């Protein structure tokens, strides 16, 4: 058994825990039915899909706002993501916005089921896998119609394929994170020095997505999305207030300091993860790397915290739900940012203090 695979809970506790899990699922479903879908993140993806179907530039801001204005008049959200899932948005987006949201929700639930399956293969515990996908930021990403479940699937498959010593395929799975390049860089770039085959897989997948994206949006589309990203970096886009981020950028902004310091911190995070993985590349250090990538990511909102479910998976079967309670209590106390930073810090400490006496038999121990 891996050093990070927890011992199963005593069977007499299982019925109570499963009862709690069922109750939590019922609570989530009830909350989801009350979601105002026009106020979610989905209108931005919907607008891009509709524009692509019409043969227009899906990243052109005026056109995006024209379509989003038919759904909500108070806000026009940007679409800063690489055109990895753009064709999927086009397929599910029709004139009926509510039906489009429901189709997209069904896809997200399929991805969530895949997350649970991979989580089970990684942890060996069905209870742990189910609790993992009940992590509150994941629920938020689902109700908001965000793409984060795709990122979560990519990271989980990356870990599983590394365990199976299929480095190239692991990198290929991780390449799905190029939809959010800051996360692809944070987790992928250090692989150059520890698992070059995995990095090659990441590059191959990223290049494939880039070619497909070029065929969909062309030079003009890429130029538009880069303009949007630059505008967001300057804090000029609505709905992307850096003060509301759960990362170093948010910390600096709320402290009244320049957000530009986030970029040296991002570089420091890359260097730190690389040095850590060069010393020992196993599941324990990978979990630390995930937390570092999130904290130093230049762009990070609540739904992006879904990736913390991965390191929580190996702490304890109930850890993702306990962490969700911490989030909710912190939010009720008006300290949601402190709650997120506390969780990140606790995970770093937990994995840093883990004993490594059985690294040699760890399924993810480095062979470099």
pLDDT tens figures, 31-77: 888 889 999 999 999 999 999 999 998 888 888 889 999 998 888 88
pLDDT of residue 78: 81
Instruction: Give the tens place of pLDDT for each residue, 139-149.
Output: 999 999 999 99
CA count, 13 A, side-chain hemisphere, 55: 0
pLDDT of residue 239: 64
pLDDT of residue 232: 72
d(CA 18, CA 234): 46
CA distances in angstroms from 276 to 11, 122, 227, 262, listed in the order given: 37, 22, 35, 21
Q: Which of the four pLDDT bands, split at 50, 70 and 90, describes residue 234? A: low
Greater confidence (19 vs 339) lies with 339
Residue among 128, 181, 125 nearest 151 (CA) = 181
Q: What does R_g of the chain's alpha carbons equal in angstroms?
A: 20
Q: Does the structure show a pLDDT above 70 at 9? A: no
- Provide the mean pLDDT of the chain: 88
d(CA 32, CA 19): 20
Residue pair 326/342 in contact (Cβ under 8 Å)? The answer is yes
Residue pair 137/33 in contact (Cβ under 8 Å)? The answer is no
pLDDT of residue 10: 45
Least confident of 91-105, 147-161, 251-265: 251-265
d(CA 127, CA 17): 9
Q: Does the structure show a pLDDT above 90 at 97? A: yes
d(CA 71, CA 143): 17
Greater confidence (68 vs 3) lies with 68
Percent of the chain with pLDDT over 90: 61
Give 15-73 as a DSSP string: HHHHHHHHHHHHHHHHHHHT--GGGSSHHHHHHHHHHHHTTS-TT-HHHHHHHHTTT-S
Query: To which H or E segment does residue 7 belong?
Result: none
Average pLDDT over residues 300-323: 93
* Displacement of CA 42 from its chain's centroid (Å): 16
Residue pair 362/283 in contact (Cβ under 8 Å)? The answer is yes
Greater confidence (303 vs 355) lies with 303
d(CA 258, CA 273): 24
Beta-carbon contacts of 242 under 8 Å, excluding residues fewer than 6 positions away, are 235, 249, 250, 253, 259
Residue pair 37/44 in contact (Cβ under 8 Å)? The answer is no
Greater confidence (239 vs 307) lies with 307
Beta-carbon contacts of 275 under 8 Å, excluding residues fewer than 6 positions away, are none
Greater confidence (76 vs 185) lies with 185
CB atoms within 10 A of CB 144: 19
CB atoms within 10 A of CB 115: 24
| pTM of the predicted model as reported, rounded to 2 decimal places | 0.90
Q: Does the structure show a pLDDT above 60 at 216? A: yes
Query: To which H or E segment does residue 88 belong?
Result: helix 86-92
Q: Does the structure show a pLDDT above 60 at 175? A: yes
d(CA 323, CA 65): 37
Average pLDDT over residues 200-225: 90
């Amino acid at each position: 058994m891996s050093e990070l695979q927890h011992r199963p809970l005593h069977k007499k506790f299982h019925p109570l825990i499963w009862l709690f899990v069922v109750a939590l699922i019922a609570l989530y479903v009830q909350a989801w039915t009350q979601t105002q879908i026009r106020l979610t993140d989905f209108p931005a993806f919907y607008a891009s899909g509709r524009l692509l179907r019409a043969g227009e530039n899906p990243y052109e801001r005026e056109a995006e706002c024209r379509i989003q204005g038919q759904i909500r008049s108070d806000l026009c959200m940007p679409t800063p993501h690489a055109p990895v899932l753009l064709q999927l948005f086009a397929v599910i987006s029709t004139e009926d916005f509510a039906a489009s949201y429901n189709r997209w929700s069904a896809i997200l639930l399929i991805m969530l089921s895949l997350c649970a399956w991979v989580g089970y293969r990684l942890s060996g515990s069905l209870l742990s896998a189910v609790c993992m996908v009940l992590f509150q930021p994941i629920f938020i990403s689902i109700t908001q119609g965000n793409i984060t479940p795709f990122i979560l699937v990519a990271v989980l498959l990356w870990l599983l394929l590394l365990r199976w010593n299929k480095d190239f395929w692991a990198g290929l799975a991780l390449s799905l994170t190029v939809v959010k390049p800051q996360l692809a860089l944070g987790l992928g770039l250090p692989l150059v020095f520890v698992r070059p085959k995995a990095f090659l897989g990441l590059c191959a997948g990223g290049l494939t997505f880039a070619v497909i994206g070029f065929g969909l949006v062309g030079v003009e589309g890429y130029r538009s999305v880069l303009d949007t990203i630059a505008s967001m970096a300057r804090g000029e886009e609505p709905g992307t207030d850096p003060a509301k981020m759960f990362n170093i950028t948010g910390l600096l902004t709320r402290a009244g300091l320049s957000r530009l310091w986030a970029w040296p911190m991002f570089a420091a995070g890359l260097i730190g993860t690389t040095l850590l993985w060069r010393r020992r590349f196993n599941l324990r250090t990978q979990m630390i790397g995930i937390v570092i990538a999130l904290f130093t990511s230049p762009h990070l909102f609540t739904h992006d915290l879904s990736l913390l479910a991965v390191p929580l998976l190996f702490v304890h079967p109930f850890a993702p739900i306990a962490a969700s309670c911490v989030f909710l209590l912190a939010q009720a106390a008006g300290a949601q940012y402190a709650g997120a930073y506390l969780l990140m810090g606790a995970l770093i400490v937990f994995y840093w203090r883990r004993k490594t006496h059985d690294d040699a038999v760890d399924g993810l121990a480095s062979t470099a």
